[in-house]
Amino acid sequence: MSNSVGGNAIKLVGESVAPGTSLLLDGRVLAGGAHLLAGLWAKAALGPVGLALVCINSYTTATTGKSLLKLASKSESDSESASTTEAESADTTESADTAESASS
């Protein structure tokens, strides 16, 4: 199934029925079946929150090609690299200010 708005809407409705449906609709039977089993286990062990997490993971995997964990770790590494870039920028500005003060 395509990643169009309509296709994604159908996948989202499918996930509300059973975890792994969006992957099954994409033809990824093994991953869809694994999410179905994981969803049943998560619901038994963690309740509705566990089931919701498995459904969200299945949907994001089907639509983006990356699991929820990979997306979360990517956003964390993006924020770390942004803060590193900001720190390097601040160091460069301070160095320029110091050089101007020394030349005066």
pLDDT tens, residue by residue, 9-63: 999 999 999 999 999 999 999 999 999 999 999 999 999 999 999 999 999 999 9
Answer yes or no: is pLDDT of 90 > 80.
no
Contact present, 28 and 39 (Cβ < 8 Å): no
Tokens 């994409």 appear where?
Answer: 26
CB-based contact 21:61 (threshold 8 Å): no
Q: Are 56 and 68 in contact (CB under 8 A)?
A: yes
Give pLDDT, residue 4.
Answer: 86
- Say which amino acid occupies 18: A
- pLDDT tier for residue 100 given thresholds of 50, 70 and 90: low
Contact between residue 35 and residue 18 where contact means Cβ atoms under 8 Å apart: no
pLDDT value at 97 more than 70: no
Q: Are 22 and 58 in contact (CB under 8 A)?
A: yes
